[in-house]
Amino acid sequence: MFRQYIGWKFVLASIAVLIIVTTIWFVSNLTKKIQDEERKKVATWVEANRELLKSAPDANLNLATEIVTTNTTIPLILTDEQGHILDSRNIDSVRIEQNPAHLQEQLSIFKKQHPPFIMEVDAKHKLYNYIYYGDSLILKQIRYYPYIQLGVVTLFIALVLFALSSTNRATQNQVWVGLAKETAHQLGTPLSSMEAWLEILRENEANTMMVTELAKDVDRLKLITDRFSKIGSVPKLEERNVLEQIENMTAYIRKRAPQKVRFTVHSTEKELPVMISPPLFDWVVENLLKNALDAMEGSGRIDINIENHPTFVTIDIADTGKGIPKMNFEKVFKPGFSTKKRGWGLGLSLAKRIIEEYHKGRLFVKSSEINKGSTFRILLRK
C-alpha cells in the first residue's frame, strides 16, 4: 500500500507538470500572436490618424474615421516630443479623476512594455507626436492564466494527496486495531487454560520451582495480552515514576540479552513523575531495547539517559550498533519498513503511535552514524 501511495504521488505530479508545461507553451505562443495582432492594430490606428491629419477637405475619410473610433480595447497615450500627455484612449477615466498621477504612471508602464509609434503632425516645422500603448485586458488575462491554473492544479493535487494520506492512515489504523484486538482475543483462551493448569500443579509441593517460573511466563503473556487489548482505545494515563518504569524494563531485557551487552541507566533525578499508560509505555521501551540488541548483534553497549526539563522529560536510548542511514530516519517509523530478515516492520510504527497519539509526546531518531550506533529519543510532556 505504501508503494502504491508513492506511485500515485508520482503519477499526479507527472500529470501536473505535463499540464503546466503544455499550458505555458500554448499560452506563450498565443500571447505572442495576440501581441503581434495588437501592434498591427495600433499601427493601423496610427496610419488612420495620419490620413485624417493630411487629408484634403473633400476626401472620403469614412474608413479612417471608423478605424480610429473602433479601437475600444487597446489603451493608448498620445504625447508630444517633450513627453507631455496630449490625449489618451481606453484608460479608466474614473481612476484618472480620483488620481491625476494615474495617467503618468500608465505612461511609464507603456514605455517599458512597447516601443512607441512616431506620427508626424507638422512637416513644415517638423513636429512629431508619440503614441504609446499597453496590453489589452484580454492579453493580461491570458498572460496570467498559467499562474492561476498552476495554483488550481497545486491545490487539487494537495487535496488529493491529503485524501489519499487520510485514507491510507485510516486503513492502517483499522489493520493495527483489528490485528491487536484479534491477537488479544486469541491469547485469552490458552491463558485461561494455563492458569487452570498452574492451580493443579500448585497442589503438589514438588512442583514449586516449576510453578514459580511458569507463573512468571503466564504473567508476561497476560501483560502482552493487556497491551494488545489497549490498542485502538484511549488508554488511561496514570502518574508513575518514569525512572522506575525504565529500570524495571531494562532489568527484564538485561536477563534475556547476551552477556557481552552492557546496560547503563543515567539520571540526575531519583524520581520523575510522568502521566503514562504503564503497559503501553513499557511496550515502547521494550521495543526500542530489543531493536538496539538486534542492531548490535551480540555485543556492545546500551545507554539510557533520562533528563528532567521544566515542562518535559527526555529519554535517550543509545546503542553501539550498525546505525541507520540518514535518509531512513523517518522511514523506520513507516509500517512495513524493516531491515531485518524476519519481522513485519510494525514495532517502531506502533511505538511512535503510542507515544505521540496516546501520550502526546514525541518519538524520533535523535542521531545515528553508520557502524557507530543510533540514539532514539522519547519526549514526554509533564
Among 253, 248, 320, residue whose Cα is nearest residue 279: 248
Domain ends where: 124, 141, 158? 141
Q: Domain with 299 in it: what CATH number?
A: 3.30.565.10
Cα(183)–Cα(191) distance, rounded to whole angstroms?
Answer: 12
Strands 261-267 and 300-308: parallel
Residues 18 and 123 in one domain: yes
Residues 117 and 249 in one domain: no
In a domain, 341, yes or no: yes
Domain ends where: 120, 141, 162? 141
In a domain, 264, yes or no: yes
Residue type, 341: K
Q: Is the alpha carbon torsion for 110, 112, 118, 122 positive or negative?
A: positive
Residues 257 and 132 in one domain: no
Residues 134 and 8 in one domain: yes
What is the distance of C-alpha 335 from the center of its chain? 18
Q: Count the domains in the chain.
A: 2
- The grid cell for 272 is 520523575
First to last CA, the chain: 37
In a domain, 204, yes or no: no
> Which residue range(s) make up the domain with 11?
2-141
Residue type, 103: L
Binning the chain into helix, strand and coil, the percentages to the nearest 5 are 60, 20, 25
In a domain, 217, yes or no: no
Residues 240 and 373 in one domain: yes
Residues 126 and 244 in one domain: no
Helix (H) or strand (E) holding 265, with range, is strand 261-267
Residues 240 and 375 in one domain: yes
Work out the widest C-alpha separation in the chain, in whole angstroms: 137
Residues 367 and 239 in one domain: yes
In a domain, 373, yes or no: yes
Residue 213: its pLDDT value, please? 81
Domain ends where: 141, 172, 204? 141
In a domain, 202, yes or no: no
In a domain, 129, yes or no: yes
Residue 54: its pLDDT value, please? 66
In a domain, 225, yes or no: no
Residues 255 and 119 in one domain: no
Please state, in angstroms and as integers, the Cα–Cα distance from residue 298 to each residue in 177, 283, 302, 317, 335, following that order: 33, 22, 12, 17, 26
pLDDT averaged per 10 residues in sequence order, the chain, 382 residues: 56 77 83 86 81 60 63 85 85 82 88 86 78 85 79 81 77 69 73 83 83 82 75 80 94 90 92 90 93 89 94 95 90 74 69 90 95 95 86
Residues 377 and 255 in one domain: yes
Residue 296 CB-density burial (10 A; 0-12 exposed, 13-18 middle, 19+ buried): buried
